[in-house]
Structure 1
Amino acid sequence: MKSSIAVIADPDTVTGFKLGGIKTGYPVEDMNKAKTRLEELFKQDFSIIITTEKIGDELRETIDKLTRTSTLPMIIEVPDKTGPSERATDPIGELIKRVIGVEMVK
């Protein structure tokens, strides 16, 4: 697997990542299209898929199903232009715990 990164997010977030040098970006505004695109990207040759927290929250079941059996590609959730979401759990902390077996303590 080559080290490549894809972004699936709202158009503004995708544009920001493209300006930062990420070449592969898919703007979506509909959760059904976001789910379909995420499933397609997961089957391709990406090491990291970046999405927004809002998409991550909406597609939590799909993300959990896809990442349950594989550590790559990693799905990283970032805040969108409206800022961070209030969350009961920390997906990045859960990812670290799953991948390297260490729980991050605040």
Structure 2
Amino acid sequence: MEVGKLVAVIGDEDTVTGFLLAGVGHRTAQGSNFLVVKGDTKLQQVEEAFKAFTTRDDVGIILINQHVANDIRHVLKDYNATIPTVLEIPSKEHPYDPEQDYIMQRVNMFLGGGT
């Protein structure tokens, strides 16, 4: 029997809590599949969590609040693997802006509609 992959979440407290309540959370002795980003969370910690999630075999999707993704945009631009797939999502305080989403920019480019 094949085991499914996890969804990892990097975001503000409301976003991560919502996904944990929906059953996305997974915690083991080695760590968890989520990171709550607060005002005092160091940028290096967010970058390390993202890099760790991208190298895990059990993670299939990484959900990241767009405002957090903007803080580590330099890391996201260097990431080009298909799995895990990175999806930028809005938060309660920050609406989604497709102009800032690197994936949407690449899709636009491939479809001939953008720079």
> What is residue 36 of structure 1 aligned with on the other side?
48
Structure 2 length-normalised TM: 0.70
1:93 and 1:104 in contact (8 A); partners too: no
Match of 2:88 among 63, 77, 86: 77
> What is residue 56 of structure 1 aligned with on the other side?
69
Unaligned residue ranges in structure 2 (runs of 5+): 26-32
For residues 47-104 of structure 1, the C-alpha deviation after alignment (integer angstroms, 9 at most, x for no partner) is 100010011111111011122xx11111111111113154534445346x39xx9639
Structure of higher CA gyration radius: 2
Match of 1:5 among 7, 15, 22: 7
Q: How many residue pairs were aligned?
A: 100
What is the rounded CA distance, in whole Å, between the counterparts of 1:85 and 1:19 in structure 2? Answer: 22
Instruction: State the Cα RMSD in Å.
Output: 2.7
Distance 1:66 1:13, change over 3 A: same
What is the rounded CA distance, in whole Å, between the counterparts of 2:87 and 2:70 in structure 1? Answer: 12
